[in-house]
Structure 1
Amino acid sequence: MAQKKESLSVSQLDELHTAGAGYDVLRYISLPEILGKESNTLLYFMGRNLARKLDIKAIEDIYYIFDKLGWGNLELIKEKRKELVFHLMADAVVQRLNASFETEFRLEAGFLAEAIQMINERECECVEAINHKIHQIEFTVIYTE
């Protein structure tokens, strides 16, 4: 018998408390080792799956979630007919980019793709580009339909 899918309200994230270092160790050291060569692809789909678990109704919910999860401050920079461009900046992003281990933003890209798809009801994918000079991540959400 299948279980009923239950969404978490965005406000339930207020119940989470963490300093962040444990998360970073799991995310950037343990998970890539366990996931192997497919790590980036699996993290992207983990992000998409996470978005499906939350009751996301508006773009402001996405901003709140990024901030609450310690991913950084997300901002919509450009809106075109077939794509949206977001920038992610924060002290946490700077620290991740300056870390001695390899960092990536595939989980966030997958989450953003699914969240935008849920809000706009249009299929989409997301790619990210890292600007190391200004410690900024650019996410481009591309509508695929």
Structure 2
Amino acid sequence: MKTNKETLPIELLDQIQSSGAGYDLLRYVSLPDIFGSESEALLYFMGRSLARKFEINALSDIIYFFEKIGWGRLELFKEKSNQLEFHLLSDAVVQRLAMPVDVEFRLEAGFLAEAISMLKGAECECIEEVRKKIHQVEFTIIFVE
């Protein structure tokens, strides 16, 4: 087992096998039950921590990560000097939005914020907006000056 200071190769994701149902139960039922109103903040910081565990050397590594672990297809939609906008779409997003429980994308937002921070060498935060009608999630990365 590697220590916290070492990063894991992105190729490790090829060895993970899961259908995701157990993960969804933990994320959308158990965590909110245990942590209450703090669950979204905890998920955001869990996502940031998770990003620090992997070798992220390019935007393609982030896109690969999202797709490989079942979060969906991440696309860079718009790039400005002080922010980036990404769209997340896939059948998995459609299925999550149709679930009879409250779903959020804070884990993904935290991961994306930290991964982009590592790539760009600048601190940033991520805001997500769920667009249920078009089955899409928009992530806006804002660079903090």
TM value normalised by structure 2: 0.96
Paired residue for 2:12? 12
| Consecutive unaligned residues in structure 2, runs of 5 or more | none
Q: CA deviation at 1:36?
A: 1.4
Partner SS, residue 8 of structure 1: coil
- What amino acid does structure 2 have at the position aligned with 1:17? Q
Q: Deviations over 1:109-145 (max 9, x none)?
A: 0000000000000100000001011000000000001
Corresponding residue for residue 53 of structure 2: 53
CA contact (8 A) 2:28 2:101 kept: yes
Q: 2 CA distance for matches of 1:4 and 1:108?
A: 21
Kindly tell me: are residues 7 and 109 of structure 1, through their superposed partners in 2, closer, same or farther at Cα, counting changes over 3 Å? same
Give the length in aligned residue pairs. Answer: 143
Unaligned 5+ segments in structure 1 are none
In structure 2, what is the equivalent of residue 99 of structure 1? 99
Against the structure 1 CA distance between its residues 122 and 132, is the aligned structure 2 distance closer, same or farther, given a 3 Å change threshold? Answer: same
Q: Which residue of 2 aligns with 1:23?
A: 23
Amino acid aligned to 2:50: L
Structure 2 matches for 1:39-78, cutoff 5 A? 39-78=39-78
RMSD after superposition: 0.8
Superposed, 1:114-125 pairs within 5 Å as 114-125=114-125
Tell whether the 8 Å contact from 2:4 to 2:53 is kept in structure 1 after alignment: no
- How far apart, in 1, do the equivalents of 2:97 and 2:142 lie? 25
Amino acid at match of 1:35: F
TM-score (normalizing by structure 1): 0.96
Overall identity of the aligned pairs, in %:
60
Residue 129 of structure 2 aligns with which residue? 129
* Residue 32 in structure 1 maps to residue 32 in structure 2: yes
CA distance in 2, matches of 1:31, 1:77: 31
Measure how far apart 1:4 and its partner are. 5.9
Query: What is the DSSP-based 3-state SS (H/G/I as helix, E as strand, rest coil) of the residue aligned with 2:6?
Result: coil
The CA distance in 1 between the partners of 2:4 and 2:39, in whole Å, is: 29
Match of 1:56, SS state, is coil
Q: Tell me the SS of whatever aligns to 1:6.
A: coil
Report the residue type matching 1:11 in the other structure: E
Provide the residue aligned with 2:109 in structure 1. 109
SS of equivalent residue, structure 1 residue 75: strand
